[in-house]
Amino acid sequence: KILNKKNKYYLYRGEDVSKDQSYFLYNLTQTQLKHILFPNSNYIKNDIRKLAAQHKIPQAKIKDSQDVCFAPRKHHDKFLKKNIPKKYQQPGDIILDGEKVGEHKGLPFFTYGQRQGINLGGQGPYYVIGWNKKNNQLFISKDAQDKKIMSNSFTIKNVHWISEPPKSTQKYDCQIRYQAKPIKAKIQKNKITLSTKVRAISPGQSAVFYKGKQVLGGGIINKVN
């Protein structure tokens, strides 16, 4: 949702919280916001379906998709294999408590906190807690809350604020992945401090900041402390 206040444009969450896409829009500029329309921002998805049904639009009955829109359905690995350079798809050791317990298919196929796709037998489940790129090693744990993936501090890069920068003396809502629960945070230039430790803060993801429903801006998670 976009509001114009004295020729300055502000971005807000949409009415349908479950379908809100504002997390992906924090990089929009004032010039872009001036020319954008969000005609569905005041509706929830069920209302849109009802309107579509009334006008006999066939898409009204199509089920919601939970898949990545640019990858073949349920074949994300195939998409990654096709697009990741072969030199990064080299197998390496999986390490649990300092011991080799298996072999992975390439580090780019894993992220912090991941459970699926480790493909180990034994008494799991197992969770990714890190890696050593130089030695091509993947580190795992049996503890979903392993201290190595719990943190409340990180830095961001490519920072962008939509209307004005936040105040370092105040706390704002921080969202570290799409549809994640917002957590209170202090923003000091590019250093972010959360009010509590959270699991699997992942470099490369966006950290987006809100004041209530207003999207202040955000940046790319760079280094987790």
The domain segmentation of the chain, as residue ranges, is 2-61, 76-144, 148-224
Is residue 124 a contact partner of residue 212, using CB atoms and an 8 Å limit? no
What topology is assigned to 148-224 in CATH?
Elongation Factor Tu (Ef-tu); domain 3 (2.40.30)
Query: What pTM was computed for the model?
Result: 0.88
Which residues touch 204 (CB under 8 Å, ≥6 apart)?
A: 220, 221
Q: For the chain, what is the radius of gyration of the CA atoms?
A: 21
| Fold agreement (76-144, 148-224) | no
Is residue 166 a contact partner of residue 172, using CB atoms and an 8 Å limit? yes
Q: How confident is the model at residue 63 (pLDDT cuts 50, 70, 90)?
A: confident
Three-state secondary-structure class, residue 34 = helix
**Measuring CA to CA, which residue among 156, 165, 215, 161 is closest to residue 21?**
215
Which residues touch 65 (CB under 8 Å, ≥6 apart)?
A: none
Q: Rounded CA gap, 73 and 65, in Å?
A: 9
Q: How confident is the model at residue 78 (pLDDT cuts 50, 70, 90)?
A: confident
Please write the tens of the pLDDT for every residue from 108-153: 999 999 998 898 888 889 999 999 999 999 999 999 999 999 999 9
CATH number belonging to domain 76-144? 2.30.30.280
Token code pair at residue 14 = 């949409």
Q: How confident is the model at residue 220 (pLDDT cuts 50, 70, 90)?
A: very high
**Measuring CA to CA, which residue among 127, 108, 107 is closest to residue 116?**
127
